Amino acid sequence: AQSVSQHNHHVILSEAASLELGCNYSYGGTVNLFWYVQYPGQHLQLLLKYFSGDPLVKGIKGFEAEFIKSKFSFNLRKPSVQWSDTAEYFCAVNGAGTASKLTFGTGTRLQVTL
């Protein structure tokens, strides 16, 4: 069975600090990987995705993630966070091919202080 593990449940950073959120997955096959963000009071939005090619993926708002196949990891990074990045971040995986369900991690709540 596929699973996703997010190591950090709650992260507090000051503005301009660097961010790295961990994500490890377990899946027996070729995968697609996603990071979604949920800002307070809003719906889940796609930050970035990886399905093939360059393992370093750039997304919106300066976020990036690196797929390391040997480590089954897809960590999210941002060099300098802003107060507006305060949100909940979810890593998700599905199997490559036809449309399939996403398996999500439990999420990481990021709080950025001024």
Partner 1 sequence: GAGVSQSPRYKVAKRGQDVALRCDPISGHVSLFWYQQALGQGPEFLTYFQNEAQLDKSGLPSDRFFAERPEGSVSTLKIQRTQQEDSAVYLCASSSRDKSNQPQHFGDGTRLSIL
Residues that bind partner 1 (CB under 8 A): 4, 32, 34, 36, 42-46, 49, 51-52, 90, 92, 94-107
Which residue type does 23 have? Answer: C
Minimum separation from the CB atom of position 89 to partner 1 (A): 10
Q: Taking the complex as a whole, how short is the minimal distance between the CB of residue 62 and partner 1, in angstroms?
A: 19
39 or 83, CB closer to partner 1?
A: 39
Q: In the beta sheet, which residues pair with residue 48?
A: 35
Please tell me the distance from the alpha carbon of residue 11 to that of residue 51, in angstroms, as a whole number. Answer: 27
Measured from the CB atom, the residue of 34 and 74 that comes closer to partner 1 is: 34
Contacts of residue 29, Cβ cutoff 8 Å, sequence gap at least 6: 95, 96
Q: State which residue, 55 or 79, has the beta carbon closest to partner 1.
A: 55
Least separation, in Å, of the C-beta of 92 and partner 1?
8
How far are the Cα atoms of 12, 98, 106 from residue 8, in angstroms, in the given order?
10, 31, 9
